[in-house]
Structure 1
Amino acid sequence: MSNSARPAPTADPAAYRDLIAGSVRDPEEFWGAAARDIDWIRRPQTVLDSSRAPFYDWFPDGVLNVCYNALDRHVVHGRADQTALIYDSPVTGTQRSYTYAELLDQVARFAGVLRNLGVAKGDRVVIYLPMIPEAVISMLACARIGAVHSVVFGGFAPAELAARIEDAEPTVIVSASCGVEPTRIVEYKPMLDEAIERSSHKPAHTVIVQREQATAQMGERDLDWKTLMKPDAIPTAECVPVQSTDPLYILYTSGTTGKPKGIVRDSGGYATALRWSMTNLYGVQPGETWFCGSDVGWVVGHTYIVYAPLLTGATTVLFEGKPVGTPDAGAYWRLIQEHGIVAAFSAPTAIRAIKKVDPDAKLLADYDLSSLRTLFLAGERLDPDTWQWATDALGVPVIDNWWQTETGWPITINPMGIGALPIKPGSSGPATAGYDVQVLDPTGTPVAPGVEGAICIRQPLPPGTLPTLWRDDERYVDSYLSAFPGYYLSGDGGYVDEDGYVFIMGRTDDVLNVAGHRLSTGSIEEALAGHPSVAECAVIGVRDALKGQVPRALVVLKAGIESDAEGEQALQAELIQRVRSEVGAVAALNRVDVVDALPKTRSGKILRKTMRQIADGDEALVPSTIEDVTVLDGLRGVLEAQA
């Protein structure tokens, strides 16, 4: 289809390389200039403090308030009546919009509620909500009073939620009676109650948003959102000054062990990086409308549903729905037409789902997408076939970008605001400002262009990236900085070509990427191993046309446990249900194979990577340290079988 939206400027690749090289060579100059787009209570005199390396502090003497930058300053400078937030919920049949002035009123009011409930600067608030405006309001209210929010994906299993409550120790938890899916209602309150019961830390209060689709039973610690937010109930709260280095939020991500890692996000560095990225990387200007099809429980939702568009003075769309089934595969196209969206951000999984239902993109003919300039995709590798389909269907640039919960904003992208570079299908683009991306061999030596290795980033990382893990500096160093001193280990493998374009080929650790959801094999294995019949198990991620990866489990039964085919099927069903209960439905485990043994090295390490390669149909690399190659050979038929 043709598109009449304003095209992105064209960039000179050599000039862009020089810009990025300059940001790495002189980060103080580059980010000092970028920080001028943020309103500071006390403007920083120091841009980067390296005295605690390998821990780095951005704008350490700066003082600001992120909520003020996201809301108040736009009201002060003439955007009071501009729409800040559009809530579009096809699953409930409702839409609602908030101007900057209206959103500020709601945020200040709930900030007063939190303060009245005993939440002070530095205290934590866990937010366990679906995609409703109260989630955005709660996040910004925490930022307003200097509290640290920790958003947990709505509907996460009680065990996972309990682990986050245990670690963050929140004063208050904000939740809802339920989430609404296209085919079912998910009641949150029973899961929240179970999680609190499991955790040794008990919040003083829980604030519950009662939704008409399912009303929650309220207990002694539970308070009703609507009652607390009555106009005459609580005075509104003013912005609390915080240091640039004070944490804005904690966001948990899976590690290779069962315990989740609490990624810490600072305030000033994050605000600076996001404001710079929104215009320079995504090409979105103040006053324009932007849509990010993520969830506020994930880093993409934090960054590009809430903070970056509001810091910019743009309009952001909060979508409670799915790319297909609400009501059909034209859901995104309707959003673009109705709200005049200029740029959209989603995951390759969403586009693959749309393509599966509407392979010829016939539904596009029903909508006017002339406002759309660019589609951005991230979350897992964007395969060239999906890129080509979306490019042909939409007639606009389809831009891959690669980043992580840890980095908070893109490591690599085609910079559509600065200027469009040539697109290379299969590549997530060149490195962006402040990221010195290197591909290293096992000795830590940079490799030549085109040679695969471990993708790492030379320290210091730019503003907005993780300064450490919540209350665990040692684990931060061990997880990210110890493999190659002076470098951040991304955990992804791939190569960089002669033009500086990065190609991500897959994970180098045992974290699965299921439709953009990073899941630890360790947490799934822990759930399986807890079954009384299971002696040991292994979980691998295998390629999937829709979700990028799906987990497959292999279990070895305890000695003396025998079953016929019917009994084995029953056991498999029990194990799948166990994972759903302990880890959550997002794990998407649908296949469990009972095997006699697992292939291991002589030191006892299970050969997950080798099994994954066999399952994917790739050439399998069998290490010389394998204990018994016949075990692996015996599994080939199982691994090669289609799920």
Structure 2
Amino acid sequence: MRRLGLTDYDTLLAYSIEQPEAYWNTINDFCGMVWDAPYQKYVDDSAGDPFPKWFPGGELNWVKSALKWANDPEMAARDAVVAEREDGSIQRLTYAELAQRVASFAAGLKALGVHRGDRVGLLMENGVEATVTAMGIAWMGGIVVPLFSGFGVDAIISRLSSCTARALVATTGFSRRGKWVNTRQLVDEALTRLPEIETTVWKHAGEAIAFNKRVVDWQQVAGAQPDANPERMSADDPFMIIYTSGTTGKPKGTVHTHGSFPIKIAHDSAIHFNVSPKDVFCWPADMGWVAGTLVMSCALLRGATLVCYDGAPDSPDWSRMSRLIERHGVTHFGSAPTLIRGLATNEAIATQGDVSTVKLLITAGEGIDPEHFLWFQKAFGGGHRPVINYTGGTEVSGALLSSVVIKPISPAGFNTASPGVATDVVDAEGRSVTGEVGELAIRKPFIGMTRSFWQDDERYLDSYWHTIPGIWVHGDLAMRREDGMWFMMGRSDDTIKLAGKRLGPAEIEDVLLELPEIAEAAAIGVEDPVKGQKLVVFVVPSKASTASADTLASAIGKHVDLRLGRPFRPSVVHVVAQLPKTRSSKIMRRVIRSVYTGKPAGDLSSLDNPLALDEIRSAAAVS
């Protein structure tokens, strides 16, 4: 506001929408983004609103902006990354050391034959190695493809095959609640069905691995002679393809570029989280979801210390998070609502650590109720540190809605749209609405939006631009009050959120239908006081099946564990004779969810078999 000569926040917010070029020029300067060649203008929108090219003519490699602190004598010796493992061991890298490691890893990848533009899978627990890997891939011009550490074989294959990845950097395993999670077994099986993968780089714990030219030790790659000069990239060049799920079909590969995602995250880190050099930023997140890259960028682009943790938040007990804050002097702490609910349930133990260093708290990933929002502020913020609610999505990089520390914050709400994003709540015709629930929408292209889905423009357009032509419709329901406060009201489509992670019903249903005992399946997300949402599935047995309901439920659980990973195991399985369908045989998941949770079923004019609803009601009665 001072740089732009503006006197209040609302004026700044309006300025960011009305004068976007001047606003983003100021953000680039304020956040110290390092450009190798200056951009010609803010945006080239000649291809239409869905396909803007940000900062045309400009060249940058975003990693240079995160590692510029290594060239500052005062900052070079400060911790850039502190990684605490579940067993209590700690690794540290200063900014100078991180810069050297990233440059070395990039050079090592080049020596293996990985080229600019190649897609490289990343399946690692959070920590020093994952940070170096992600940044090293971008440094040498590659495109990182993050994979969730809890994925099963099919989920890994679908993502890496979709983008024809040429290399994979993976961990052989990690400890979770004292038990070894063997990811090597999953990866080895996946590789037998991924012929495009030419090189595998293993981070290992001393296991016997037959290393050769195509199977390589992570330490060997990281030990290469540093490549001091990163690849010069166009602002529109991708550095990440990260998959998110829709309600139908395969996962969607959202594409993020050097000149969009990092600048949006640097902006949000400054504007919403108030992060400054020398702060200590901790937000435990898996590198396989967008939060992993977001958290890393929030800290390092602003010169803060990134604190990583790779274990369970309740190991060895629920005091782990508060003691983590105490050990490392954390100033900014983020948590998913699921974790906050777990901490609150175990308050006496969870609050044993000294959290007095905390200056700001963050919650994101799913909706949070006011009670737990306030509990988080009181227990981890002393009752007077702000809690910043933050919502966006894999497709938009950072925030669509959030809060700023200079305005009042309503519990569980958002006190602002994110500056630079023309966010609105609209009705079915695209008209703005206030004081009632509507679709969360964005009226103009915005920094951070995905460039498209990987090699699938039509699906991208169908997902966000065709519902109301000319407007990005995000798929969330929201409400904006007269006083300018915003609230999220849940998903408007069938996407399921499990502990903050988005999942498409089709991903679950396709796996269930692999079982010969199942003829049809429907998956829905249902509100859960601990997880936020739990997965409930309805299955119709095949005619040949003689299995009991209990036997079928057990088989389903084991099969989902194998194919997608234990985090996606259904909480409840209901065996029914039929599922409600439209006349065109589409399963009506929204109707199933409404009836199952006791809400109005809505328009049933297209329902072909109304008796199916009686089975859903019966299932709800016994659940």
Which of 522, 525, 549 is matched with 2:506 structurally? 522
Give yes or no for contact 2:496–2:502 (8 Å, CA) kept in 1: yes
Q: Secondary structure at the match of 2:83?
A: strand
Quick one: structure 1 residues 342 and 478, their matched pair in 2 at CA, closer, same or farther if it must change by over 3 Å?
same
Q: Secondary structure at the match of 1:242?
A: coil
- 1:323 partnered with 2:307: no
Quick one: structure 1 residues 102 and 588, their matched pair in 2 at CA, closer, same or farther if it must change by over 3 Å?
same
- 1:188 partnered with 2:178: no
Q: Shift in Å at residue 560 of structure 1?
A: 4.8
2:22 matched to which residue of 1?
Answer: 29
Q: Which whole-Å deviations, capped at 9, do the CAs of 1:30-83 have from their partners, x for residues lacking one?
A: 111111221111121211111111211111111112121111454246411011
- 1:460 partnered with 2:445: yes
Which of 536, 544, 548 is matched with 1:552 structurally? 536
Q: Quick one: which amino acid aligns to residue 96 of structure 1? A: Q
1:450 matched to which residue of 2?
Answer: 435
Q: Secondary structure at the match of 1:312?
A: coil
CA distance in 2, matches of 1:594, 1:465: 41
Q: Secondary structure at the match of 2:477?
A: strand
CA distance in 2, matches of 1:343, 1:335: 12
1:301 matched to which residue of 2?
Answer: 292
Quick one: structure 1 residues 403 and 581, their matched pair in 2 at CA, closer, same or farther if it must change by over 3 Å?
same
Q: Shift in Å at residue 500 of structure 1?
A: 2.5
2:597 matched to which residue of 1?
Answer: 616
- 1:240 partnered with 2:240: no
Structural mapping, 1:329-478, within 5 Å: 329-358=318-347, 361=348, 363-364=350-351, 366-394=352-380, 395=383, 396-416=385-405, 419=406, 421-447=407-433, 449-461=434-446, 463-478=447-462
Quick one: structure 1 residues 476 and 14, their matched pair in 2 at CA, closer, same or farther if it must change by over 3 Å?
farther
Q: Shift in Å at residue 622 of structure 1?
A: 4.8
Q: Shift in Å at residue 356 of structure 1?
A: 2.0
2:59 matched to which residue of 1?
Answer: 63
Q: Secondary structure at the match of 1:632?
A: helix
Quick one: structure 1 residues 202 and 549, their matched pair in 2 at CA, closer, same or farther if it must change by over 3 Å?
same
Q: Which whole-Å deviations, capped at 9, do the CAs of 1:274-315 have from their partners, x for residues lacking one?
A: 2222122101111111111211111111011x1221111111
1:311 matched to which residue of 2?
Answer: 301
CA distance in 1, matches of 2:350, 2:590: 41
CA distance in 1, matches of 2:14, 2:110: 45
Q: Shift in Å at residue 368 of structure 1?
A: 2.3
CA distance in 1, matches of 2:60, 2:200: 28
Q: Secondary structure at the match of 1:198?
A: coil
CA distance in 1, matches of 2:586, 2:541: 18
Quick one: structure 1 residues 14 and 572, their matched pair in 2 at CA, closer, same or farther if it must change by over 3 Å?
farther
Q: Shift in Å at residue 21 of structure 1?
A: 1.6
Q: Quick one: which amino acid aligns to residue 266 of structure 2? A: R
1:632 matched to which residue of 2?
Answer: 613
CA distance in 2, matches of 1:228, 1:266: 25
CA distance in 2, matches of 1:499, 1:259: 41
2:84 matched to which residue of 1?
Answer: 88
Give yes or no for contact 1:159–1:198 (8 Å, CA) kept in 2: no
Which of 141, 144, 150 is matched with 1:146 structurally? 141
Structural mapping, 1:118-267, within 5 Å: 118-199=113-194, 201-212=195-206, 221-230=214-223, 233-267=224-258
Q: Quick one: which amino acid aligns to residue 602 of structure 2? A: L
CA distance in 2, matches of 1:114, 1:260: 27
Q: Which whole-Å deviations, capped at 9, do the CAs of 1:520-579 have from their partners, x for residues lacking one?
A: 11110111112112111111111111111111111111235344xxx3311211112112
Q: Which whole-Å deviations, capped at 9, do the CAs of 1:208-260 have from their partners, x for residues lacking one?
A: 01115x65565773111223444xx5453521111111111111111222411
Q: Percent identity?
A: 33
Q: Secondary structure at the match of 1:243?
A: coil
Quick one: structure 1 residues 568 and 244, their matched pair in 2 at CA, closer, same or farther if it must change by over 3 Å?
same
CA distance in 1, matches of 2:397, 2:176: 27
Q: Quick one: which amino acid aligns to residue 206 of structure 1? A: T
CA distance in 1, matches of 2:401, 2:493: 20
Give yes or no for contact 1:189–1:216 (8 Å, CA) kept in 2: no
Give yes or no for contact 1:529–1:535 (8 Å, CA) kept in 2: yes
CA distance in 2, matches of 1:422, 1:177: 47
2:96 matched to which residue of 1?
Answer: 101
CA distance in 2, matches of 1:557, 1:126: 37
CA distance in 1, matches of 2:502, 2:210: 32
Give yes or no for contact 2:416–2:486 (8 Å, CA) kept in 1: yes
Q: Quick one: which amino acid aligns to residue 308 of structure 2? A: L
Q: Which whole-Å deviations, capped at 9, do the CAs of 1:297-348 have from their partners, x for residues lacking one?
A: 11111011x1221111111101112222x11111111111111111111100
- After TM superposition, the structure 1 stretch with the greater mean CA deviation from structure 2, 372-381 or 30-39, is 30-39
Q: Quick one: which amino acid aligns to residue 297 of structure 2? A: Y
CA distance in 2, matches of 1:464, 1:628: 43
Structural mapping, 1:483-522, within 5 Å: 483-522=467-506
Q: Which whole-Å deviations, capped at 9, do the CAs of 1:471-508 have from their partners, x for residues lacking one?
A: 22221111111111121111111211112222111111
Q: Which whole-Å deviations, capped at 9, do the CAs of 1:105-153 have from their partners, x for residues lacking one?
A: 1111111100101112211111111123111101111111111111111
Q: Shift in Å at residue 583 of structure 1?
A: 1.9
CA distance in 1, matches of 2:226, 2:332: 38
1:587 matched to which residue of 2?
Answer: 568
Q: Quick one: which amino acid aligns to residue 71 of structure 1? A: L
CA distance in 1, matches of 2:492, 2:265: 28
- After TM superposition, the structure 1 stretch with the greater mean CA deviation from structure 2, 17-26 or 93-102, is 17-26
Quick one: structure 1 residues 183 and 378, their matched pair in 2 at CA, closer, same or farther if it must change by over 3 Å?
same
Q: Quick one: which amino acid aligns to residue 309 of structure 1? A: A
Runs of 4 or more consecutive aligned structure 1 residues displaced over 6 Å after TM superposition: none
Give yes or no for contact 2:517–2:544 (8 Å, CA) kept in 1: no
May I ask how many residue pairs the two structures share in their alignment?
613
Quick one: structure 1 residues 282 and 475, their matched pair in 2 at CA, closer, same or farther if it must change by over 3 Å?
same
Q: Secondary structure at the match of 1:403?
A: coil
CA distance in 2, matches of 1:590, 1:554: 11
CA distance in 2, matches of 1:314, 1:204: 36
TM-score (norm 1): 0.91
Q: Which runs of 5+ in 2 are unaligned?
A: 1-5
Give yes or no for contact 1:153–1:297 (8 Å, CA) kept in 2: yes
Quick one: structure 1 residues 390 and 48, their matched pair in 2 at CA, closer, same or farther if it must change by over 3 Å?
same
Quick one: structure 1 residues 560 and 369, their matched pair in 2 at CA, closer, same or farther if it must change by over 3 Å?
closer
CA distance in 1, matches of 2:615, 2:122: 47
CA distance in 2, matches of 1:603, 1:363: 52
Give yes or no for contact 1:128–1:175 (8 Å, CA) kept in 2: yes
Give yes or no for contact 1:145–1:237 (8 Å, CA) kept in 2: no
CA distance in 2, matches of 1:217, 1:184: 25
2:280 matched to which residue of 1?
Answer: 289
CA distance in 2, matches of 1:430, 1:216: 52
CA distance in 2, matches of 1:362, 1:186: 26
Give yes or no for contact 2:112–2:199 (8 Å, CA) kept in 1: yes
TM-score (norm 2): 0.94
1:9 matched to which residue of 2?
Answer: none
